[in-house]
Structure 1
């Protein structure tokens, strides 16, 4: 069973308060409608009693002798309804023919009258000339003997129809619900959006500051847990970097001593092999330190022309007598880290040149993403190794020669640079042969 604790500022409490606030505001808007709308907020004509009064008066006068009807009509008049009788229509000085009313359209009046009147006409204040003192609502009823009854309320005492009143009340309730829901969701969604932005920022900036706890109790708990995790990760990375720096410093000294001692080896071939191994170890140490430093170094995000950056790479390789085919737009502005992106793409092209040949590059812009594809016509790599190659120090080439196999940090470094920008780097074997490296970057406005 779910326990609802309204004493704590949690999501359940906010939802309950939102519902209560919507109900209270709906009642308040209905009260204001009744107070401000004036006569339009009053009960409809069928609820005011005027129709019953008209029916009773009509039946009484119809049953009375003609010579007494005028006196009875005057006696039936009151401040809410004036009644007049005349054997002819002309003495009423009407502005013209009124709107014909079918008795069937007024069920209340139809049921109360003893006999069906010969004619019913309705007049509104606008039917009279502007400024006329007779401009009132008026109902003209022609009785069975041809005489006429006029019913005139001095002022409008009835409001909108029942259907219209219910429609207005429903609209007011809807406005109240939408208003309160908009405010409530903003109070709840605002902290969630800021939490999501801060979490995305930490994914690309390991030195991001902690998030300020805000929002409902459950969200504040999540933010506190995230801040704890973030601090632990930052502490771990700092310790790892410090450890690697210490290892690098400690290893350089024996390597230097090995090179010095190698100078005394008389066999040139053995001396050459020793120096090669020393250089290999030095290169691996420098590459590893560079890789781990790149993970913690933050490049400033800035808008730049991604297409122009890729064209610059094509020109750089052309200067080295290497042709890189490129297809894509001439200009495409992107908000990101240009140096990290350039380093990643360069690594992919270098791999294509070194291991396959005929590198090709393509830039594709879609609604939500930007795609950079680097492909070659080489043998590809085994499907089982498509993810393993992103593991630091993993090498498909089995030799220890760094000129052929490398250290095994190029692709992991490239993926790290892409993920810093919220993107992803994946490898795919092409159906026709060759390897396809795909960089997927989110668009800035998404």
Structure 2
């Protein structure tokens, strides 16, 4: 097995789901690391993880072990831009706001364990404890001799609180998951969209080319199966067309001989009956062959103006002194087979003119479908026959006279063409008498 084929065989939907989950996790970690590196102090860990607690404890232990006269100078020496340290002999020397509970609670146990001796009094203040603006972070630690160390920071430099940090991490996880999911679903959705588009194209044009097998293994297998079915249908249609062409030739030859032999019949009445039967058989054969072979179904789907086609049909009948009303937009571009749809409309209009009066055409469209109605005022068709009239060779009139009703293939051919466009042909009796024939076509693209 080649490397390319092996890679394709491993490209499955299950593998993509697993990779999507893994990539989402890795991307979330990468975003979090990037946030820590680029966002500065706001992404740093909380106070207990910053090393500041250890630094405060070390300074306190060192100054507590020194002589009282050296403590102010030592406090000044360990101060820097981020943290100011001052020593005070009594608590009253330190000006701090009055708060309900200045005791240091968060991570205080860890700090107390680092202090020597343990159990010292600790107080903590934050900017909101000061009235007005200009508050600061402050930490007071009582030394063993009762004096105090004051640690003060104008700005907090040890990062966000745990709550905001968790919210940011959750947001980064969601963002990374959405990004990876969009990429993965696009990878899976694109071949499915191509598959659906190819299937719709084949519904409009049976000579459409096969669909390219792309995407994960399962989707490629479905596309290959569809292509095989499409090839079989195309082969069947080709064989049927060739067979019907042969039938056309084989049946017309004996009919021609029958007509020639009828010329030798001396009885004029019997001769006319024979010629009538031969003509009737010839008409039935031609109609049947036209229905099964139907050159209109062989044309390629193209973009054309359906409204103009319907108006042209109405104008053609108007030239024959048959007034047909058209109701619809002046222009409507549709993708389909114009010759086939023209035959559908012609068959429906012929029935409306032959069996009814006041024929009319209505055209409406929206984003999903196009509706063409052929309406008339006449006797209509009983509801029980609305489906039966679409069967080949069925006629509500029992005679086979071509002048009164043809051979019963007009509606069958019309529905077959509409179905090949992926649409529907429905009949409905009108209020007040008459019939409505509605052609409902889906909106497709090339």
TM-score, normalised via structure 2 length: 0.79
Alignment CA distance shift 1:377-1:116 (3 Å) = same
Q: Which moved more, 1:179-188 or 1:158-167?
A: 158-167
1:11 maps to what in 2? 13
Q: 1:108 aligns with which of 103, 106, 109?
A: 106
C-alpha distance in structure 2 between counterparts of 1:202 and 1:174, whole Å? 41
Q: Which moved more, 1:184-193 or 1:336-345?
A: 336-345
2:410 maps to what in 1? 410
Q: CA deviation at 1:284?
A: 1.7
C-alpha distance in structure 1 between counterparts of 2:97 and 2:412, whole Å? 87
| Deviation sequence 1:52-80 (CA, Å, 0-9, x none) | 86699899999x99977634633764797
| Deviation sequence 1:71-103 (CA, Å, 0-9, x none) | 46337647973313589xxxxxxxxxx999996
C-alpha distance in structure 2 between counterparts of 1:322 and 1:271, whole Å? 38
After TM superposition, list the pairs within 5 Å mapping 1:283-432 onto structure 2.
283-294=283-294, 297-432=297-432
Alignment CA distance shift 1:55-1:61 (3 Å) = same
Q: CA deviation at 1:345?
A: 0.9
SS at match of 2:357: coil
2:122–2:139 contact (8 Å) kept in structure 1: no
SS at match of 2:395: coil
SS at match of 2:244: helix
| Deviation sequence 1:216-256 (CA, Å, 0-9, x none) | 33223322322222222222222221211111101111111
Aligned length: 420
C-alpha distance in structure 2 between counterparts of 1:10 and 1:110, whole Å? 54
Pair 1:258-2:258 in alignment: yes
After TM superposition, list the pairs within 5 Å mapping 1:167-246 onto structure 2.
167-246=167-246
Q: 2:84 aligns with which of 82, 85, 91?
A: 82
2:296–2:339 contact (8 Å) kept in structure 1: no
| RMSD of equivalent CA atoms | 4.1
Alignment CA distance shift 1:228-1:301 (3 Å) = closer
List gaps (5 residues or longer) in structure 1.
Answer: 1-6, 88-97, 129-136
1:4 maps to what in 2? none
2:268 maps to what in 1? 268
SS at match of 1:260: helix
SS at match of 1:361: strand
Q: CA deviation at 1:338?
A: 2.3
1:95 maps to what in 2? none
Pair 1:166-2:150 in alignment: no
Alignment CA distance shift 1:205-1:192 (3 Å) = same
Alignment CA distance shift 1:164-1:279 (3 Å) = same
1:439 maps to what in 2? 439
2:115 maps to what in 1? none
2:83–2:151 contact (8 Å) kept in structure 1: no
SS at match of 2:213: coil
1:85–1:150 contact (8 Å) kept in structure 2: no
2:92 maps to what in 1? none
SS at match of 1:158: coil
Q: Which moved more, 1:380-389 or 1:291-300?
A: 291-300
Alignment CA distance shift 1:141-1:46 (3 Å) = closer
Alignment CA distance shift 1:211-1:308 (3 Å) = closer
TM-score, normalised via structure 1 length: 0.79
Q: CA deviation at 1:395?
A: 2.1
Alignment CA distance shift 1:279-1:377 (3 Å) = same
C-alpha distance in structure 1 between counterparts of 2:340 and 2:126, whole Å? 88
C-alpha distance in structure 2 between counterparts of 1:379 and 1:294, whole Å? 30
2:4 maps to what in 1? none
| Deviation sequence 1:10-37 (CA, Å, 0-9, x none) | 3222212211221122222222323333
1:21 maps to what in 2? 23
C-alpha distance in structure 1 between counterparts of 2:393 and 2:229, whole Å? 27
C-alpha distance in structure 2 between counterparts of 1:250 and 1:407, whole Å? 21
| Deviation sequence 1:319-367 (CA, Å, 0-9, x none) | 1111222222223232332222222111101001112222122112234
1:359–1:374 contact (8 Å) kept in structure 2: yes
Q: CA deviation at 1:266?
A: 2.4
C-alpha distance in structure 2 between counterparts of 1:386 and 1:331, whole Å? 31
C-alpha distance in structure 2 between counterparts of 1:419 and 1:435, whole Å? 21
Q: CA deviation at 1:406?
A: 1.0
2:121–2:141 contact (8 Å) kept in structure 1: no
C-alpha distance in structure 2 between counterparts of 1:101 and 1:35, whole Å? 37
2:152 maps to what in 1? 151
C-alpha distance in structure 2 between counterparts of 1:82 and 1:365, whole Å? 77
SS at match of 1:201: helix
SS at match of 1:241: helix
SS at match of 2:405: coil
